[in-house]
Amino acid sequence: MRNGLQHGIGAVVLGGDFHGLGIARSLGRHGVPVCVIDDEYSIARYSRYTTSALSAPTLRRQDATVDFLLEAVHRHPLKGWVLFPTRDEHVAAVARHRAQLTDWYRVPTPDWDSVKWAWNKWNTYRLAGTLGIPIPRTWCPQSLDDLDAIDAEFPLCVKPAVKEDFFYATKAKAWRANDRSELRTLFASASRHVAGNEVLVQEIIPGGGDQQFSSCVFVKDGMVVASLEAKRHRQHPAEFGRAATFVETIDCPALLEPTTRFLRAMKRGSSPPSSITAR
């Protein structure tokens, strides 16, 4: 391990791509020791702000991720350090095993009853619909025959409700279907990659990355502690970006209210209806 682990309270960053690098830089500049855990040779482990890096056999399986974290805290002075998961599967692993991990780490990730509304995008859209938050029309067909009941203009988007299996198999977040024949072909292909999770069909909102905005809100006990909005000027790939390549923080207070309302509903553990009301 490079430089060795420091004693005291630090940060354990799960995943070392650009998300992990941003965390390492932000905390390292304030003198916080940072340990990056990853299953690939990603950029964060080479940052001068990374105190040390641990290589895991895999972080794609939730049980393996939790086992490695528990092993690491017994082998290295990480007890009491704060966990920062950076990928969806890491967040799910920490949320599902939160009670077990809090015996050894500080875990800011909410428990699974809250996280499940963001983990599965079908849950996300259904909950947003009940809250009156505008969403693109979305369907969750169970078979090829169900596609015939979708009455919408093309092109449409085909994507998984839970992205991990699909993403690692295809290296894509979503596919564009330009007509009904292509929709059937892409739906059948997507269904082979999602390991039992739902495949969603969704309207495509016009515009590129510069029409996409993010609202980042930190809520504690129902109160907003901090927030910011961002505009994605460029992304890669251009249509369904896996990553943003140029993002600008902006002032867009209109995003704060629906974001806060959604996060509060996640915390309450609201039960979504069986179908979406398109708005």
pLDDT at 7: 54
Least confident of 6-10, 51-55, 164-168: 6-10
Residues 36, 15: Cα–Cα separation, whole Å: 7
Distance between CA atoms of residues 278 and 85, nearest Å? 32
Apex CA 201: angle with CA 200 and CA 205, to 5°?
120
CATH code linked to domain 11-109: 3.40.50.720
Q: What pLDDT shows up at residue 197?
A: 65
Domain 138-203 has CATH 3.30.1490.20: yes
Q: State the CB neighbour count (10 A cutoff) for residue 172.
A: 16
pTM for the full predicted model: 0.85
pLDDT at 35 over 80: yes
- Domain residue limits, the chain: 11-109, 127-134+207-268, 138-203
> CB-hemisphere CA count at 13 Å for 94?
25
Looking at the chain, the whole-number percentage of residues with pLDDT higher than 70 is 92
The pLDDT tens digits of the residues spanning 218-235 come to 988 889 999 999 998 888
234-268, pLDDT tens digit by residue?
Answer: 888 877 877 788 899 999 999 999 999 999 999 87
pLDDT tens digits along 80-116: 999 999 999 999 999 999 999 999 999 999 999 999 9
| pLDDT mean across residues, the chain | 89
Which residues, 6+ apart, have CB-to-CB distance to 41 below 8 Å? none
Average pLDDT of span 53-75:
96
pLDDT score for 163: 86
